[in-house]
Structure 1
């Protein structure tokens, strides 16, 4: 009996530590089909899981959700493991066989079985880490980008309230903001952008998109800018029609506010890929566009009629407030400088940009003679003879140029103006 008691631990140790590993290795040589078959079954299940996760992501994206980085990384890892499993299966099927369809190449059998067994562990491991519905997506992102604004904005509350009324009424498609250069169109548009660029669950729009166009209208650049804000990737080699179709497909079931700044000519929204037209509109189906332009004919060609907001020049009190905010408090400390400042404000013609530029240029001027010199420049200016509605800005630009730090900086200014 004592002999059995001594023999049992030895047998157990032999079986667990020696025989089972040997048997496993022998099985690698003799039964590669079993190991490859087990791997194939698990890999097929993994492929189904990948397809399910990708389908859920597509549904979520249509609802404005965005997959987490961990989710996209899981898909990449799972696809890689699946591809490696397929390669092992292909290696098994490509091995040389002899009688009865068997292969007597033990080294090849062992290698394939060992690889299949290890890859099966990887497949099962990645399946256990499959993203769940409650952790697959990020929290709803902001619907737009908050843009920087100047610190002192005056005279725009009335325009802003009117735009907000049109937006919240939900019965118009396109709103136009029209005014001469420097009148505050861009600042007004950015304020609207920032008001609606908040979390998607708290506002009316799924997306708020801000695009700058300029004189050199480039359709591809406009499409790329819109796509990047929507989180879409447009291939560089895609043609205009393909990019248009991608944007249209994404936006057609979404509520969006498209803000187009600085239009100089008609923009073909259809070519861009922006859904618009005769579909029923209202608070539950908002696809709204706001444009800014210097030219009223652009508003008319974009089918903006009753909803054109014309920006007027600032009244003197508003202009003074803006100029004072940029020039500093010395205006109230020296009566003569204050007198010169009032003349300068009058010459700026109520244009916010002019008042800001000249105010900043004068902020460092402490002597009365410096202020008197600027008044003289403005009064002797020949720019009033220029046949342009925006001639008030020319003399302002000259003052800004004249107060640059040195001649080299002035030359750089002229170079970029002429470029």
Structure 2
């Protein structure tokens, strides 16, 4: 038995010696290769910093596009930043200690080199793990999120007037009702304050968290289904992959099905809107949502299935006291703190002559803000003259006079012309499009850079908004205008020099107003797929032409532009230009050409437009740019955003 125990003890002793030897060897190895480990640490550190910089570049690009950074990317970046600082500090401290010598500087510090080597190896391993994780991060690093509401205050024009409070309370009660009410409506004449009331309902509903989603969309007199879908999608944080209207409608319906409870608000309805075409829930699907509609006519509201008269609420005109209170608020401190009894009397008279319509009261009060008393007296006299409303329906002479007075007080002829031009365009126009047009028409002062031109444009838009003549849109990239102000502005432009003509599908479906078109310099025409453009239209005075279709099916005849020699701005949106009209090459004065969202063929002829300064091919299917376009030496802006098929950009 004793020999056996002795043998076991000997084996254990041998294993222990081997283990101790291996451990000693490992520790000695750290000392021997300490410099190699430090070099490897620095190499992995550089690699990690490079990866971290690369990810940060993607993060910065996503943030510039107002995207939200994904959680795993943010967590990795924070962890990397912390580890880099932590490991660098530890290694730096050990390096400083390893430099010191022992035995009066005659030999290195073995212990410090050992610690430095071991720490460097561990740090290099940690860095490599982080590098590997960085390569596995989800891409792209950002994602689109629903825009956050920034308005905590009521709309600036909202006032809890007695005549409005009951309508507002009734509407909110219907919105809150959890029983059978799914369709709610408000109605009243244009400019009476329907939109302002709806915005306050939306604000209150969001603040009280009554719904999972609250969506506000403006429809307008001529509904653009694609634009309505875009507004709803923006509010829901939805990105369309589909290009067709039916495809987008299916996507919207699927999204609405995912939501438990939502409020959809549709403003400025002029006729019944086809919910199915847009992708809005209807029938039994309405049990999960509420839809709030606004129109000038109760009859329009009652055309919608599920709408009952008891759930529609009228908004009337302001009484005199309410008109005066609103005028004082919009005019600002001038009248609030003025001790001049004359200013109070004149202002009160002006408010009375605005006919109780908030849009007119706001416009003229803002116009007179900071003006001398003489300007107030002059305004009162002009309103007393009661200019004719030029046959405009639903606009009284008093309202017409009030808005025209605001126009007369616009500073400078350039800004006045700019205002009139803005009202020729569609609702919710992109400011970038407005910039392209104004450059082509020469409305901006000369000798400017593109940045200076945009700054001037934004200043003008801000001035007109401050005067109540333009409105904010559903995002900061667009602007809007009220229908009444728009109609008055177009009337002014027409009576001034007969320069403006707006045409709709019904205006040209049977017969083109060719004689009328000869007299005008600005024409805005919207058509659908059934429209057939004439072979040629004689428009010798025309400088601006905008034709937009709905489904890229409207073609343009080859000689259509032959008699438009003075044309400076041409915008063909959503058109079928696969057979590109050759007569465009004859437009020697053309300075802006926009072919956005159109089907394009060979556009080589564009190279003949030597005066061209702006060429916009946004969201087209163009695959390459010809060398001829490179010869457009005056070109200042080439918009290729959304041209996903563009591969060969020789120009």
**TM-score interval, normalised by the smaller of the two chains:** 0.5 to 0.7
- Quote the residue 1:277 is aligned against: 283
Residue 200 of structure 2 corresponds to residue 194 of structure 1: no
Helix, strand or coil: the match of 1:214? coil
Deviation at 1:353, TM superposition (A): 1.4
Unaligned runs of 5+ in 2: 1-15, 30-67, 77-124, 139-144, 426-651
Helix, strand or coil: the match of 2:423? helix
Deviation at 1:384, TM superposition (A): 5.2
- Quote the residue 1:324 is aligned against: 328
Task: Measure, in 2, the Cα distance between the counterparts of 1:70 and 1:330.
Answer: 52
Higher percent of residues as strand: 2
Residue 398 of structure 2 corresponds to residue 402 of structure 1: no
- Residue 310 of structure 1, aligned match among 309, 314, 321: 314
Within-5 A mapping of 1:214-363:
214-235=220-241, 237-253=242-258, 254-278=260-284, 281=287, 285=288, 287-303=289-305, 304-306=307-309, 307-331=311-335, 333-363=339-369
Task: Measure, in 2, the Cα distance between the counterparts of 1:372 and 1:267.
Answer: 46
Residue 183 of structure 2 corresponds to residue 174 of structure 1: yes
Cα-to-partner distance string for 1:380-411 (whole Å, 9 max, x where unaligned):
12325635222343211111111111222222
Cα-to-partner distance string for 1:44-79 (whole Å, 9 max, x where unaligned):
xxxxxxxxxxxxxxxxxxxxxxx982158899xxxx
Task: Measure, in 1, the Cα distance between the counterparts of 2:286 and 2:223.
Answer: 30
Helix, strand or coil: the match of 1:210? strand
In the alignment of these two chains, the number of paired residues is: 306
Helix, strand or coil: the match of 1:204? coil
Task: Measure, in 1, the Cα distance between the counterparts of 2:137 and 2:200.
Answer: 43
Helix, strand or coil: the match of 1:197? helix
Helix, strand or coil: the match of 2:284? coil
* Higher RCO (CA 8 Å, separation ≥ 6 residues): 1
Q: How big is the alpha-carbon RMSD for the aligned residues of Structure 1 and Structure 2?
A: 3.9
Native 8 Å contact 2:266 2:292 kept in 1: yes
Q: Name whichever of 336-345 and 177-186 sits farther off.
A: 336-345
- Quote the residue 2:474 is aligned against: none
Native 8 Å contact 1:180 1:294 kept in 2: yes
Task: Measure, in 2, the Cα distance between the counterparts of 1:330 and 1:225.
Answer: 38
Unaligned runs of 5+ in 1: 18-66, 76-117, 132-139
- Quote the residue 1:373 is aligned against: 378
- Quote the residue 2:210 is aligned against: 204
Native 8 Å contact 1:185 1:292 kept in 2: yes
Task: Measure, in 1, the Cα distance between the counterparts of 2:182 and 2:215.
Answer: 15
- Residue 160 of structure 1, aligned match among 168, 171, 195: 168
Native 8 Å contact 1:182 1:351 kept in 2: yes
Task: Measure, in 1, the Cα distance between the counterparts of 2:375 and 2:27.
Answer: 102
- Quote the residue 2:71 is aligned against: 70
Task: Measure, in 1, the Cα distance between the counterparts of 2:296 and 2:286.
Answer: 30
Deviation at 1:190, TM superposition (A): 0.5
Deviation at 1:341, TM superposition (A): 1.8
Native 8 Å contact 2:146 2:236 kept in 1: no
- Residue 184 of structure 1, aligned match among 189, 193, 207: 193
Native 8 Å contact 2:213 2:262 kept in 1: yes
Task: Measure, in 1, the Cα distance between the counterparts of 2:226 and 2:18.
Answer: 84
Native 8 Å contact 1:180 1:390 kept in 2: no
- Quote the residue 1:364 is aligned against: 370
- Quote the residue 2:394 is aligned against: 389
Deviation at 1:352, TM superposition (A): 1.2
Task: Measure, in 2, the Cα distance between the counterparts of 1:231 and 1:328.
Answer: 38
Q: Name whichever of 143-152 and 175-184 sits farther off.
A: 143-152
Deviation at 1:122, TM superposition (A): 6.5
Q: Do the aligned partners of residues 407 and 142 (structure 1) sit closer, same or farther apart at CA in structure 2, a change above 3 Å counting?
A: closer
Task: Measure, in 2, the Cα distance between the counterparts of 1:149 and 1:246.
Answer: 32
Task: Measure, in 2, the Cα distance between the counterparts of 1:292 and 1:398.
Answer: 27
Q: Name whichever of 6-15 and 268-277 sits farther off.
A: 6-15
Helix, strand or coil: the match of 2:294? strand
